[in-house]
């Protein structure tokens, strides 16, 4: 019985021993398209891409500033609508039927 206990203990210890684990990260997702938004308004705007029925929030662009915004999840060559809403919600600006290419799309708000 004692031999069986010792054998069983050694088996358990061997099973619990360390093993080599290799940890890797996948490639960084690349963004093929981007917007270059120039906000000439006196207040910030929330910028969205509208693809089908989905509004995808991209970024808030501060008043009187310029932002380069990568667009994730939308493949190059897609036709979308752009929407910018002032932070107080009083004004909405749209640009319809924009084809996002592999180069940056320039959008100026008044």
What is the value of pTM for the model shown? 0.71
Using 50, 70 and 90 to split pLDDT, how confident is the model at 105?
very high
Beta bridge partners of 83: 48, 94
How confident is the model over 1-38, as pLDDT tens digits? Answer: 565 565 656 665 555 656 677 677 765 555 579 999 99
How confident is the model over 64-98, as pLDDT tens digits? Answer: 999 999 999 899 999 999 999 999 999 999 999 99
Contact 34, 104 (CB under 8 A): yes
Domain ranges of the chain: 38-110
Phi, psi dihedral angles at 22 (to 5 degrees): -110, 125
Q: What is the largest CA-CA distance in the chain?
A: 88
3-class secondary-structure state, position 96: strand
């Amino acid at each position: 019985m004692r031999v069986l206990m010792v054998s069983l203990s050694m088996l358990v210890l061997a099973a619990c021993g360390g093993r080599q684990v290799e940890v890797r990260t996948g490639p960084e997702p690349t963004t093929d398209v981007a917007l270059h938004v120039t906000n000439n308004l006196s207040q910030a705007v929330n910028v969205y891409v509208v693809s089908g029925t989905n509004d995808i929030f991209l970024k808030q662009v501060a008043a009187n500033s310029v932002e380069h915004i990568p667009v994730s999840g939308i493949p190059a060559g897609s036709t979308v609508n752009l929407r910018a809403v002032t932070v107080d919600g009083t004004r909405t600006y749209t640009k319809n039927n924009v084809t996002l290419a592999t180069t940056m799309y320039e959008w100026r708000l008044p």
